[in-house]
Structure 1
Amino acid sequence: MKAKKQQDDAVIEDDLARTKSQLDYFPKWQELKPLGKNIHRRSYHSCVTWDNYIYVYGGYETNEGILDDLMRIPIPNTDKSLEWTQVYKNPQKELKGPGPLRNHSAVVYQNKMYIFGGKENLIQPCCKLWIFDFQKEKWDEGQDCKINDQTVCVEGHNSCLFVQEDMASMIVFGGFYTDKGYVSQILQYQFKENIWSLYYEQQKTSPQGRAGAGAAILGNDLYVFGGCNYEQRFSDFWKFDLINKKWEQIKTEKSPGSRSSSVIVSHNQGLYLFGGIHDITHEKNDLWMFKNNDWILLEEDNSRRQVNDELNDSLDKASQSKPNKQKEKAKIQDIQNRTLFLLGEDSELRSPQRRGSVKNISLPAGTQKISTEQNNVSQATNNMEELKKRRWQQKKMQMLAEFDLTEEEKQKFRSSSPTTEQIKNSINLITNQDKGGQRKISSPIGRKQQQAQLIGKKPCARDGHSVIVVGESMIVFGGDRNLMSFNDLYMYSFSMPNKPTK
C-alpha cells in the first residue's frame, strides 16, 4: 500500500508540473489595481475612451440588476491617479439620461459619446439614441432608430465608428430585434445629418442572424466573428465591404472556435479577439490575432475547464494500471447476485431502511470466499474513489492559486497607518537632503500609484466584457463568468514581443 501511495503521489506531482504552465507568468499582461473604492461589478456594459480617460456606462450585475452609472478612470501610465470617479455629481433624479441599460453599444465622435439600443429592463430592447457631451457633461436625447417609419428596438448588436472622407457614421450590425428576432442586417446613423438608414438588408449571401458577435472595422471592411442565435453559437468569420456593400465569408486554416460575447478590436498589427463563451459554464480567456488572412493563437485558453480536462485525462491514464471499471462493476454485480441467491430474496433485506445491512448478517461458511472477494474489489474501488477525491482537492487548490497573492504583492496594496506614513516621511525628510539643502518627500500616493499593478497576471475566462485599444495597449474591463460579474481591469501590451502558440 505504501508503494501504491507513492506512485499516486508521483502522478499528482506530474499533474502539477504539467498544469503549472497554465498559471505561469504572462509578461504582456498586467492587472491594474485602482486606488480607493472600486465600482460595481458588471457585464454587458459599454466602454469608450476620450481625452486620456476610460468611460464605462451601465451594465448588469446579478444582485444590483441593470446599472445606470457613468464612471471614468484615467488611462494607465499617465500622470493622473488610477482611481474611479463618477462623471457627473448631480443626483440621478435631476439628470436626464439613458437610465438603467445593458447590452447596448457606444462609440465616440467629436467629443461626444453615442449610446444606442440595449435593454432598459429585463424584458424588452429599446430604440433610443443618447448623446453625451464630454466637455459639457450633459446628456441629450438623439433620434430614435426608425426604418421606413418602423421603430427598431435592438440589443446584443455591434456598433463601430466608420469615417470616410468628410462623412462619419455609426455602423450597427446584427443583434436581436423585437419584431424580427436575430438579424444580420446593417444600419447606419449619420452624425451630421442626424438620420438613420438601412445600410444593407439581410440576404441569402449574408451571415445568419445573430447577436453577441465580435465585430470591428479595419480600413473599409467590417469584420464579424461568431455570435449566437436560439439554436447555436457560431464559429464563422465574415467580412463586409462597406464601400461596395458585399459580404464575403473568410475561410482560414485555424479558428478561435464557436463562441459568442467575445470582443474584437483593430490595431495596426491586425485584428485581436479575446474571450467569449463557448458553452454553458465554459467561458474562455484565449487571445487570437487575425493577420495575413489567417488566425494566429497568441495565448491559449487556460480557464478552469481546460485544467479539469487535463487532470481528468491524467486520471484516466493513472487508472489504466488498475482493474477495468466495467469488469470490476460486473464482478461486483455478479458477487451481489450470488449473495442474494444464497440468502434468498428476503423482502426485509431489500427494503430502503435495511439497505447496506447485509454485512451484519452471518453468512454460511460457503459464502466466506465470496465475501472476501467482494471486499477486495470494494477496497480497490474505494482506493480509486480516494484518488479521485484527492485529485479534486488538488484541482481546487490549483484554481485558488490562480487568484492568490504573495506576501510581497499583498504588501504593495496594504495601507499603512497614519503614524507609519509620518515615520516614513520623516525618514525621507532626513535621508533625501542634497547638498543644496533641498528636501524631497516621497508621496505615498505616488508610491501606491507606481505599485498598483500585478505584472504578468492574465484575465480569467469571461464573456460580456469590454476591450478598448489605447495606443500600444489593450484594456480589458469587467465581464462575467458563471453569473459572477467582475470589476477588474487589465492591460495588454502590443509592443512587447509575443511568440505564437503552436
Structure 2
Amino acid sequence: MEESKLRGRENFTELKVDTKKYLDPSVDLWEEIRPARKHPARRSYHSASVWQNRMFIYGGQDLREGPQRGFWELHLTTSRWDEDNWEELPTEGQGPLCRHSAIVNDDNMYIFGGSDGITEYNTTLIYNFANRSWSRINPERPTCPPPLDSHTAALYDDGANCYMVVFGGYVSGDRSNETYVLNLNAAKWRQVPLSSPAPEARANHACAVYGDYFYIFGGSNDEGEKLNDIWKLNLKTDTWEQINAQGDIPSGRSGHSAVVFKEFLIIFGGMKDITRETNEMFSFSFERNLWACFQEEHQVKDPVTAEQLEEYKKSKASPTMPRPKNECNSPTRSPIKRTTTNTSPHGESSPSRRKTLYDGPATPISGRIRGNAPHARDGHSAVILGNTMMIFGGDRHQMPFNDVYAYTLVENVVAAPVLNNLIN
C-alpha cells in the first residue's frame, strides 16, 4: 500500500489525538483502525496473512475460553478509511486452532501445525484465495515434522521452487530446535540436518527470510528464560550461524512479531516477563548486523483495571485457576490451556465457552485515529502491506485484544538510528 494512498483520505474527516506528550516521533506514524461492522472475537496466537492488499486472520486463542475457530478478511479501502470492514469467511468444518503458522505463496495460504487445546497437529491446510476452497497435505513420516505448536514459518523462493521453512516450537510439550522445509511445488517435506553450532531449543520466537537466509530472534528456552539471540540458517548449505549483532540489542522476549521492510527486520511488542509486555519497536539491519530502537516503550492507557490485574495475580497462586500464559509451572511444557471438548482434529465441535474477562471499552467512533499507538502486548500478529505494517490482536495480562493498527514504515525513521550509530 503506497504512502500516498495512506495519506489520501478524501471525503473523510480524520480523527486526531494530541501526540505532543510523546517524545518519540514514531508514535505519530500509527493509526488505529476501527471498523464499524462485525469483527473477530478477541484472540491471540492466531495467524495473519496478506493477499492482494487484504489481511486474513485465522484461529487463535483466548486464554480463558480456549482455542478459537474462525477465518476473517479485513477489507482495507483507499478512498474512505471509515469504510474499512471485516468479513467472516467459510472454513468448511475446520475446528478451533491456535499457535499454528501461516504463509502465502501465489493464491494459496498454507497453515501448518497448531493445537485445538487438546491435540497438536502436523497437517498442512491449504486455502486458495481465488476460488475460496480448502485442501490439505497429510503428513508423511519420516520426513515431515512431528505435531508442533508455537513454532514459526516463513516463505523462501530460490528462483526455481518455493518452500515453507518451519523452525522450533513445542513437540509433545518439549521445545525443539529442528528445522523442516516443505517444497510447495512438490508437496514434499524434508528435515534439515542439525549443524553445529545451532540455536538452542525455543518456542514463541519470531522468524523471517531475507535473501538466502532464514533468521530467528528471541523466544523462550527450556528454562523459560526469554532469549535475545539472533541466528541465521543458510538455506543453500543448511548451516546455522549465530550473528554477533551490535547496536541497541533488544532484551529477551517471546510472543513478539517480525516483518521485513527493505533491508530491515522490524520487531514489535512481545513479553519480557510474566505480566510485562511491551510495545517498543526495533529494527535490525541485515546488511550491517545492527540493532536500533526506533520506538521506545509507551504507557498507553491500560485496558486492564487494577482489580483485574490483582485477580490475575491471585489466579497464578491458585491451583484451581488457569496457569499463567506462555509458561506453565514446569517450564519445559507447552503452554496450551487444555479444555474439555469432543472435537476431532479440525472437527466441528468446540470447547465450552466462558465469558471473556476483558470485554474492552465500547466506542461509537469508527474510522482511523492518527497518533494512537498500540497497547503493550504479545501473541499478536504483524503483516506488511507495501510500506505499512498491520498489527492485529494479541493480549496483555490474559486480556485479549481484537484491535487493528497500521504503522507507516518510513525508511529514514527506521534507518536513522542505524545511521546515527555508524556516524558516532
- Give the TM-score, by structure 2 length: 0.74
> What is the CA-CA distance between 1:75 and the residue it aligns to?
3.0
- Deviation of 1:299 after TM superposition, in Å, equals 0.5
Q: Is 1:117–1:155's contact at 8 Å kept on the other side of the alignment? A: yes
**Structure 2 matches for 1:412-431, cutoff 5 A?**
413=364
Which structure shows the higher helix fraction? 1
Match of 1:196 among 177, 180, 189: 189
8 Å contact 1:283–1:303 — kept in the other structure?
no
**How does 1:475-494 map onto structure 2 within 5 Å?**
475-494=390-409
Deviation at 1:305? 12
Match of 2:56 in 1: 55
* Distance apart, 1:37 and its partner CA: 2.2
Within the candidate set 97, 100, 107, 1:101 is matched to 97
Q: Give secondary structure in 1 for the equivalent of 2:40.
A: coil
What is the letter of the counterpart of residue 187 of structure 1? Y
Contact 2:103 2:164 in 1 (8 A): yes
**Distance (Å, rounded) in 1 between the aligned partners of 2:159 and 2:400:** 40
Matching residue of 2:273: 279
- Counterpart for residue 283 of structure 2: 289
Give the match for residue 44 of structure 2. 43
Q: How does 1:61-80 map to 2 (within 5 A)?
A: 61-75=62-76, 77=78
Residue type of the alignment partner of 1:258: G
Change (3 A) 1:470 1:78: farther
1:177 partner letter: V
Q: Which moved more, 1:480-489 or 1:125-134?
A: 125-134
CA distance in 2 between counterparts of 1:404 and 1:255 reads 35
Residues 202, 182 of structure 1: CA spacing in aligned structure 2 closer, same or farther, 3 A cutoff?
A: farther
Structure 1 position 145, deviation (Å): 5.5
Secondary structure in 1 matching 2:130:
coil
Equivalents in 1 of 2:85, 2:276: separation in Å?
A: 32
User: Could you tell me whether the CA contact under 8 Å between 2:300 and 2:374 is conserved in 1?
Assistant: no
The answer for the alignment partner of 2:15 in structure 1 is: none
Distance 1:137 1:205, change over 3 A: same
Q: What secondary structure sits across from 2:278 in the alignment?
A: strand
Q: Secondary structure in 2 aligned to 1:103?
A: coil
Change (3 A) 1:39 1:496: same
Q: State whether residues 37 and 85 of structure 2, in contact with CA within 8 Å, keep that contact through their aligned partners in structure 1.
A: yes
Flag as ranges the 4+ runs of structure 1 deviating above 4 A.
Answer: 22-25, 303-306
Q: For 1:126, which of 104, 121, 124 is the aligned residue?
A: 121
**Cα distance between partner residues in 1 of 2:140 and 2:105:** 18
Aligned length: 336
CA separation in 1, counterparts of 2:238 and 2:24? Answer: 45
Describe the SS at the equivalent of 1:171.
strand
Q: Does 1:260 align with 2:254?
A: yes
* Structure 1 counterpart of 2:228, from 220, 230, 235: 235
Answer whether contact 2:39 2:87 (CA < 8 A) is retained. Answer: no
Structure with larger RCO (C-alpha < 8 A, sep 6+): 2
Q: Aligned Cα RMSD in Å?
A: 2.7
Q: CA deviation at 1:455?
A: 0.3
What CA distance in whole angstroms lies between the structure 2 residues aligned with 1:73 and 1:108?
16
Q: 1:473 Cα deviation (Å)?
A: 0.6
Structure 1 distance, partners of 2:378, 2:49, is 18
Q: Is the 8 A contact 2:49 2:102 kept in 1?
A: yes
Gaps of 5+ in 1: 1-18, 307-402, 415-447
- For residues 178 and 245 of structure 1, do their structure 2 counterparts lie closer, same or farther at Cα, with a shift above 3 Å needed? same
- Tell me the equivalent position of 2:148: 154
1:117 aligns with 2:128: no
Q: Deviations over 1:86-124 (max 9, x none)?
A: 123xxx6xx243x11000000111211110000012x33
- DSSP 3-state at the match of 1:146: coil
What is the identity percentage for the equivalent residue pairs of Structure 1 and Structure 2? Answer: 30
Gaps in structure 2 of 5+ consecutive residues:
1-19, 303-359
- Secondary structure of 1:27 counterpart: helix
Aligned CA distance change for structure 1 residues 201 and 102 (closer, same or farther; 3 Å) = same
Cα 1:178–1:404 change in 2 (3 A) is: closer
